[in-house]
Amino acid sequence: MNDLQNHIVNTGSLAILHCLDGRSIPPLRDTTEHFADVIFQLDTRVRGDEVENRLAIPKFRGGRAPKDVIKLDLDEEVSIDTSRDIA
């Protein structure tokens, strides 16, 4: 992680790490999340023939993460459901 951070700083870049949840979560996952400036958690559920996506942002270093979970409609384009049925 330190090598990655040095490379990002030296090149003025950005790194995106895709961390899957599952049965075998790597033992250093907490360390990865500690290094991260922003964490997005996408929850996808299939109910019948409908797909429901909800986005949470539990960590946003240097800013204010939204407290509410955001319902996303991922069709041909991304849109945010702004109705207040967010649970």
The 10s digit of each residue's pLDDT in 47-87 is: 898 888 999 999 999 888 888 898 888 777 767 766 655 55
Q: What is residue 84's predicted lDDT score, i.e. its pLDDT?
A: 58
- Given pLDDT bands bounded at 50, 70 and 90, which one contains residue 39? very high
The 10s digit of each residue's pLDDT in 16-26 is: 999 888 888 88
Residue 23's Cβ-side half-sphere holds a number of Cα atoms within 13 Å equal to: 0
Q: What is residue 41's predicted lDDT score, i.e. its pLDDT?
A: 93
Asked if residue 69 lies in contact with residue 87, where contact means CB atoms within 8 angstroms, the answer is yes
Domain ranges of the chain: 2-81
The residue among 83 and 10 whose pLDDT is bigger is 10
Q: In a 10 Å sphere around its CB, with 0-12 CB exposed, 13-18 middle and 19+ buried, how is residue 72 labelled?
A: middle
